[in-house]
Amino acid sequence: MDKISLEAKARELAATASEARSGRAADTVFGGHEKRMRQTVVSLRAGAELAEHQSPGEATLLVISGRLRLRAGDTTWRGRKWDYLVIPDAPHSVEAETDTTFLLTVAMSGR
């Protein structure tokens, strides 16, 4: 069994995102191509965005710190620390209102 501290990982990635030109940093903490599920900790500097994209499968995000907006079409959901959002099966984007870190969980379709 592996154990990691999401709080420590969030701090590490927030520091990386603050220095990155893109304002983003991420690390997959579970899964990948060989698994049916992938969990990735993502950190966005305030104002940074994950541009509109389609999810590869069912997905959720759990806000670890900060505040963000999840947009799909004309609908916007706001998330803050410990909010859990189900990502719609539609093109969507994520924008950080403040420095934000979240756990993204994706069930990979076709596995």
Q: Is the pLDDT score of 86 beyond 70?
A: yes
The whole-number average pLDDT for the span 71-100 is 96
Q: Where does the pLDDT of residue 27 fall: very low under 50, low under 70, confident under 90, or very high at 90 and above?
A: very high
At 93 the pLDDT is 96
Q: 34 is in which domain, residue-wise?
A: 6-107
| 53 within domain boundaries | yes
Give percent above pLDDT 70 in the chain. 97
| 54 within domain boundaries | yes
| 27 within domain boundaries | yes
The whole-number average pLDDT for the span 55-66 is 91
| 21 within domain boundaries | yes
| 41 within domain boundaries | yes
| 1 within domain boundaries | no
Q: Where does the pLDDT of residue 35 fall: very low under 50, low under 70, confident under 90, or very high at 90 and above?
A: confident
Over the chain, what HEC string results? CCCCCHHHHHHHHHHHHHHCCCCEEEEEEEECCCCCEEEEEEEECCCCEEEEECCCCCEEEEEEECEEEEEECCEEEEEECCCEEEECCCCEEEEECCCEEEEEEEECCCC
Domain with 15 in it: what CATH number?
A: 2.60.120.10
| 73 within domain boundaries | yes
Note whether 41 and 10 are within 8 A (CB).
yes
Q: Total domain count for the chain?
A: 1
| 50 within domain boundaries | yes
Mean per-residue pLDDT of the chain:
93
